[in-house]
Amino acid sequence: MLTLWKNCEVYAPRHLGRRDILIEGGKIAAVEGSLSRWLTAPEIDVRDMEGAVVCPGLVDIHVHVTGGGGEQGPASRTPELQLTDFTLNGVTSVVGLLGTDGVSRGLENLLLKVRALEEEGISTWALTGNYRFPTKTLFGDVEKDIALIDKFIGVKTALADHRGSSVTGQELARLGSEARIGGMISGKPGYVTIHMGGHEHRMDELFWALEHSEVPAKTFLPTHCCRTPELIAHAVRLNNLGAYIDFTAELPDNEAGTAAALASALRQGAAPERVTMSSDAGGSQPSFNEAGECVGLTYTTSVTLLQELRRMIFREGLSLETALRFFTENPARLIGQSGKKGTVAPGADADLLVLDEGYAVRHVMAKGKVAVWEASALMKGKFEK
């Protein structure tokens, strides 16, 4: 079946201006100034966007799809995320991973969860491993997991965090080598996502690994780079060596947000094409009193992504074209999906997001199917009401 979206103000994420978009078989067939010649095609679904912003569906590369948390006991384990947690927030592609809890949260469950979300309508990948080192795998080997399991495109670890294994630079170099070779064998990116904690050593061990091995900087992706000004400075230094750096979108009630941290990194010289922002959706969000006692616990979804997009535009003065890159084109390139995800172009998957005047979700198309229309979910997971 053919679908024609007319009068779209297209951000691909590069601003293309007013365009029509033709979709066929889950792919974008054409993006042109006028595709009215297709109006008479049999059984074509024509929808007029009336000048609304149309951009790629968001690519969220750090998501606890099976739930996270657990640091305050069994009752603090956060629930699994559902399809509409993503589509209602404009997300059409996700990378699932584990966190602190590698005991009750297993890679088997993670693998089946991302496959379930794929069946339900969005595009998914996953990372092997978790905070621990030696890291948990399915085949007993990071290289094998990435090379032989379709969904695994990299590995997860943690650095500068009391919940991790205090990995050394030598261990990071070895992990990076295993991920890279697994990726080379299978044609995947083969990268290492590094959860960055708040310890004052920050990325010291990572810089040691780069200085004492042949593993390229682009193999490593530190995330949560917005924690402190000092960590932002380390992230910029790593970015200048050729690595991507990832910033975590904040909860809605955090007035400061992450947009300011990302803007600071850009002012310090970070290459914008190697900067991404993810949601950490499904991860626990504890709050503590002055005595260090946990007094509240919640978790987030991908709702934070567009919130930070608005902050970048309205508070930091970035253009929509620039801000969109951190959620679309850049993460798609990082996970080896450039030209297929994170773009509005012929041959790309028909993952499209329509925004209203305030840059909130209006419509969403995932792989050529309408998932959200007028901010209401049309596509739902098997057990969603």
Are 120 and 94 contacting, i.e. CB atoms less than 8 angstroms apart?
Answer: no
Residue 130: name the closest of 119, 148, 145 by CA. Answer: 145
Are 20 and 34 contacting, i.e. CB atoms less than 8 angstroms apart?
Answer: yes
First to last CA, the chain: 27
| Tokens (6 digits) for 166 | 């205090």
| Residue 262 burial by Cβ neighbours in a 10 Å radius (0-12, 13-18, 19+) | buried
Are 162 and 130 contacting, i.e. CB atoms less than 8 angstroms apart?
Answer: no
DSSP state of 314: H
40: number of Cβ within 10 Å? 7
Q: Which residues are known to be catalytic?
A: 280
Strand, coil or helix: what is 212? coil
Residue 55: name the closest of 348, 336, 378, 307 by CA. Answer: 348
| Tokens (6 digits) for 229 | 């000004």
Query: With left for phi above 0 and alpha for psi between -120 and 50, is residue 265 left, alpha or beta?
Result: alpha
